[in-house]
Amino acid sequence: MKTILTPILLSSLLIWLAGCTEPTIDEGILPFNVPSSVDADGGNWRTIVLKSAADIAVPQPLPITSDTYKTELTAIKNGILASTPEQNTAVNYWAVGGVVRWNQIARQLVAKYNVPPGYDYATGQVSPADAANPYAGPPYAARIYALLSVAQYDALVVAWRAKYQYNRPSLERQGVVARVPILDVPSYPSEDAAIAEASCQMLAYLFPNEVNWLKAKATEHKKSRLWAGASVPSDIKAGEDIAIALAPKLVERARNDRFTASTDPANTWQAALVKAPYNQTWKSLEIPERPPILPLAGNVKTWYDSAAIFRALPTAPPATTSAAFQKALSEVRALSDSRTREQWRIASYWENGPNTYLLSGLWNFLAEDLIRQGGQNELRTARTYALLNRAMQDATTATWRAQYTYFVPRPAQLDPAIKTATTMLNTPSYVADRAAVSTAAATVLAYLFPDEATRLSAQATEASLSGLYSGTQYRFDNEAGATWGTLIGQLAVTGAKADGVK
């Protein structure tokens, strides 16, 4: 008789396996950023929405010899000794970098709210867009990242100016052993509180449904710096006050950047389509047909010189009847018929379609590694993102302008046998925003991280080709986009060379 042990063991193994649970997505662990410089002259860097850092006055702090300060410091020291596991988790989370963390939070929220109105085939109804956020699409995402980065950057320039104006010594210089690496800059005002409050207020304006969640995040961020031993409450309060003074100026810019009109409620795009200077015009390939994505997003206020940007508006592509156009169309068809796995991968990697944080979000993600490797402090990180995201928003605005000027049909409209590896955005084809945004992003990042220029340039080239590989874009869409993106990237680089940063 066979021993009964083996089947019992096997059954146990089976039951044990069945008991395992697994998360949908594994989360990586980020290393702490160890900044390589403090940028003591940061208070003189050129601000973006503020005229200068002096626009916001930071009151003089109490001296460290005062009883009030001593009490604060003692409380922090005691707090470190009594910290709870939850506090430690928060400390470690935010120590990765406030600017980076809030950028991640923004990416999450963009992915959450970047939901185009859907069509319910069961009921035959178009489900309405979220009333608080009816703006899904690349222009929506690019604007959010730009506004957030600018808010963070301006707040930090003001904070840096006050830090070196008042020179309140860091807690570590006063014998506090912090729980995580702390940048050796004067502690007043707290850069983290400035980032937390500026990011929270900016995102609360952009995502009104998330106010409570954002406030909770900001509170945790600020408190984490007390638990970490990086700041005392008066440092935090001063940082917060900078952001409170700054936020209305950012909100005012956001209100007046013509973005809210980009949904085109009066459907003026239909008239524009009729008089489009192109021989055959775009139509929606969705079933049923839907209005295009944010038709007036090409009118959004730019961050860089709008005259220079729109002077470079590409001319119309060759007419659909021309041999040049037919050649471009048959290239898309040939790629669609014999797409390689690698071409599919490239198309998918750069797609970042509906319900994701979008292509501008991917570039923010890619920049994160560069920032970490470059050992950038909070201020420099904010500058990197502010340069990158302004250039990307302008590139998006520019391509939207071209798309709704020419209304060039997508390849699949003219050759229905073309199959696409990714979703086809419900927008005209020319100019390719993937190409323009990626080239602008790579140009800015190559200036900031010259060692990575070769790799960035290769990424931009791949991103530019991705639309062709996915079957949603002609080669001329990509080429025009890349040329325009380079120009917009150069405008950002010119600005970066003159903003006082060495």
Partner 1 sequence: MLKGKGYFCVTSADFMRLLIYFTVALLFTFAHQTHAQGLAPGILDGFMKGQRKASLAIMASQETYNTYYINTTETKNPNLGTVTTQALTVVGTYGLGYDLDLIISAPYIRTEASAGYFPKQEGLQDVSGTLRWEAFDYKLGKTRLSWLFAAGYSMPMQEYVSDAMVRLGYGSKNLDGRTMLHYKAGPFFITGQYGYIRRGQVTLDHVVNNYDPSQLNPNSGMKVNVPDVTELIVRTGLVTKRASLDVWGQQQTPRTEGTNIGPGIPFPTNGVGFTRVGTTAWLKLFGKVGITATASTILSGRNTGKSTRVNGGLVLGL
Which positions lie near partner 1, rule CB under 8 A? 1-2, 6-7, 10-11, 13-14, 17-18, 20-30, 93, 104, 107-109, 111-112, 115-116, 118, 121-122, 285-287, 336, 339, 341, 344-345, 348-358, 361-362, 365, 368, 412, 418-421, 423-424, 471
Min. distance of Cβ 145 from partner 1 in angstroms? 13
Q: Which is nearer to partner 1, 143 or 168 (CB)?
A: 143
Min. distance of Cβ 422 from partner 1 in angstroms? 9
Tokens matching residue 31: 């290393």
Min. distance of Cβ 213 from partner 1 in angstroms? 11
3-class SS string, 187-222: CCCCHHHHHHHHHHHHHHHHCHHHHHHHHHHHHHHH
Q: Which is nearer to partner 1, 291 or 353 (CB)?
A: 353
Q: Which is nearer to partner 1, 22 or 67 (CB)?
A: 22
**Measured between alpha carbons, how far is 75 from 433 in angstroms, rounded to an integer?**
53
Q: Which is nearer to partner 1, 277 or 416 (CB)?
A: 416
Min. distance of Cβ 328 from partner 1 in angstroms? 18
Min. distance of Cβ 240 from partner 1 in angstroms? 24
Q: Which is nearer to partner 1, 357 or 476 (CB)?
A: 357
- 158 vs 100, 245, 408, 458, CA distance in Å? 19, 11, 46, 37
Q: Say if residue 129 is exposed, middle or buried (CB neighbours under 10 Å; 0-12, 13-18, 19+).
A: middle
Q: Which is nearer to partner 1, 45 or 363 (CB)?
A: 363
Tokens matching residue 486: 């380079």
Q: Which of 404, 414, 390, 394 is nearest to 472 (CA)?
A: 414
Q: Which is nearer to partner 1, 25 or 81 (CB)?
A: 25
Q: Which is nearer to partner 1, 363 or 484 (CB)?
A: 363
- Cβ-based neighbours of 494, under 8 Å, separated by 6 or more: none
Output the CA angle 205-210-213, nearest 5 degrees.
Answer: 120
**Measured between alpha carbons, how far is 474 from 476 in angstroms, rounded to an integer?**
5
Min. distance of Cβ 232 from partner 1 in angstroms? 28
Cis check for the bond before 23: say yes or no (omega within 30 of 0): no
Min. distance of Cβ 342 from partner 1 in angstroms? 10
DSSP 125: E
**Measured between alpha carbons, how far is 2 from 7 in angstroms, rounded to an integer?**
10
Min. distance of Cβ 194 from partner 1 in angstroms? 23
Q: Say if residue 338 is exposed, middle or buried (CB neighbours under 10 Å; 0-12, 13-18, 19+).
A: exposed
